[in-house]
């Protein structure tokens, strides 16, 4: 028997209740689609070996990773996904519409699965629950009710058999009821409000606020120096500046972009620019430094980080940076895919002291703040 634990994310719905043209699972939340949020959270859990996302035919390229094709209802989508998996020991079935998946809930589910064929996360019902017709009807005793969330964890063979046995003309809104119909007990573990489903307009904003509150701020610095020589062009902050000297180095020697690149790498402890683009590598001879910065930014994005702010200081006696300040801000903003307001460019002399004061070189330092 396979030892694998597979997470199955269903993302083949139309998202009719939330409205709009894009199915809700593909809507962006802090720069990443809902479905990819869940996929990354599940894939990152040490107890999960593989993640398969079920999408409507034609939508395969909208999600990261492995996919299977969904059906007309959630139940059919789950069944298709279970069949596509082929072999596994345990499976977690999750709604793409629940983008935030706390690892602690997965821990509890996998533990509960040691002594049951199925386990689900639930939360108590806090509001008064009542029946309604045209007017308000009787109150329902909420102490006997729970809210059932996903991911739901199952013994793979048991849930597959239960799904296959379910009548095709009957609907089911989750998989625990399908397992119970097959005669198995379903264990209950504590759910989490962070798992709330995105169903109606407004739910996205709440999820965004919750995600924002979970993110941490990180700050890192970068510093670089290049020699000023005659006969070189002067690139500063991705902008060609007319001057009687230019910076020398293996690449275009853009000292300002190098300082920012090092700071960006620093926010994710990804080493320094020399490690990623060694001066010994002929590929980087005369290279435009913008690509170094774009690469560093892509590493931050791949880790789920967002660049918030860059503060750059260029240290030189000449040229004057002021006239180019906004052009540099715009260029750096373009490279980092942020707005001009998120880029600060300052300059200072060193009162004719030291190598910068004597015009022998230009130094730059940068502070970059990200959220991750």
- Give residues 93-132 in contact with ligand CTP (rule: CB under 6 A): 95-97
Q: Tell which one of 1, 16, 46, 231 touches ligand CTP (CB under 6 A).
A: 16
If one asks whether residue 53 binds ligand CTP (CB under 6 A), the answer comes out as no
Q: Tell which one of 7, 8, 25, 263 touches ligand CTP (CB under 6 A).
A: 25
- C-alpha to C-alpha distance for 310 and 299, rounded to whole angstroms: 16
Q: How far is the CB of 97 from ligand CTP (least distance, A)?
A: 4
Tokens of 149: 């969330």
- Give residues 293-322 in contact with ligand CTP (rule: CB under 6 A): none
Q: Which is nearer to ligand CTP, 28 or 274 (CB)?
A: 28
Q: How far is the CB of 116 from ligand CTP (least distance, A)?
A: 23
- C-alpha to C-alpha distance for 7 and 43, rounded to whole angstroms: 8
Q: How far is the CB of 31 from ligand CTP (least distance, A)?
A: 20
If one asks whether residue 199 binds ligand CTP (CB under 6 A), the answer comes out as yes
If one asks whether residue 257 binds ligand CTP (CB under 6 A), the answer comes out as no
- C-alpha to C-alpha distance for 236 and 239, rounded to whole angstroms: 5
Q: Which is nearer to ligand CTP, 73 or 344 (CB)?
A: 73
Angle between helices 156-165 and 74-85 in degrees, nearest 10: 130
If one asks whether residue 11 binds ligand CTP (CB under 6 A), the answer comes out as yes
Tokens of 233: 């062009």
If one asks whether residue 51 binds ligand CTP (CB under 6 A), the answer comes out as no
Which residues lie closer than 8 Å to 224 by C-beta, 6 or more apart?
255, 258, 259, 262, 273, 363, 364, 365
Bridge partner list, 6: 50, 91
Residues binding ligand CTP: number (CB under 6 A): 22
Which residues lie closer than 8 Å to 304 by C-beta, 6 or more apart?
32, 40, 372
Q: Tell which one of 6, 7, 8, 12 touches ligand CTP (CB under 6 A).
A: 12
- C-alpha to C-alpha distance for 211 and 109, rounded to whole angstroms: 22
Note the Cα 138 to chain centre separation in Å. 44
- Using CB positions, name the residue nearest to ligand CTP: 13
If one asks whether residue 80 binds ligand CTP (CB under 6 A), the answer comes out as no
What is the binding site for ligand CTP (CB under 6 A)? 10-17, 23, 25, 54, 70-74, 77, 95-97, 197, 199
């Amino acid at each position: 028997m396979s030892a694998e634990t597979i997470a199955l994310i269903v993302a083949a719905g139309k998202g009719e209740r939330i409205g709009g043209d894009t199915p809700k699972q593909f809507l962006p939340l802090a720069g990443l689609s809902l479905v990819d949020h869940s996929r990354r959270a599940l894939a990152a859990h040490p107890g999960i070996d593989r993640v398969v996302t079920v999408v409507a035919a034609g939508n395969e390229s909208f999600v990261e990773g492995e996919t299977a094709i969904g059906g007309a209802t959630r139940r059919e989508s789950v069944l298709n996904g279970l069949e596509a998996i082929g072999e596994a020991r345990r499976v977690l079935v999750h709604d793409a519409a629940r983008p935030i998946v706390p690892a602690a809930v997965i821990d509890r589910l996998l533990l509960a699965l040691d002594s049951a064929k199925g386990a689900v996360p639930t939360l108590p019902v806090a509001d008064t629950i009542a029946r309604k017709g045209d007017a308000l009807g009787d109150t329902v005793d909420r102490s006997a009710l729970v809210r059932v969330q996903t991911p739901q964890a199952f013994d793979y063979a048991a849930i597959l058999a239960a799904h296959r046995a379910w009548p095709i003309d009957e609907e089911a809104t989750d998989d625990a009821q399908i397992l119970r119909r097959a005669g198995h007990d379903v264990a209950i573990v504590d759910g989490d409000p962070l798992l709330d489903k995105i169903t109606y307009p407004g739910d996205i904003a709440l999820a965004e606020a919750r995600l924002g509150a979970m993110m941490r701020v990180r700050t890192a610095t970068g510093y670089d120096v290049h020699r000023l020589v005659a006969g070189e062009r002067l690139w500063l902050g991705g902008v060609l500046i007319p001057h009687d000297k230019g910076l020398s180095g293996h690449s275009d020697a853009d000292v300002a972009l190098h300082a920012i690149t090092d700071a960006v790498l620093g926010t994710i402890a990804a080493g320094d620019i020399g490690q990623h683009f060694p001066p010994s590598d002929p590929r980087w001879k005369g290279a435009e430094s913008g690509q170094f910065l774009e690469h560093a930014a892509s590493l931050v994005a791949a880790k789920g980080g967002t660049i918030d702010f860059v503060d750059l200081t260029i240290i030189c006696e000449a040229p004057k940076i002021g006239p180019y300040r906004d052009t540099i801000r715009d260029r750096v903003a373009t490279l980092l895919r942020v707005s001009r307001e998120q880029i600060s460019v300052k300059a200072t002399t060193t009162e004719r002291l030291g190598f910068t004061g004597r015009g022998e070189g230009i130094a730059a330092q940068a502070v970059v703040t990200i959220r991750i």
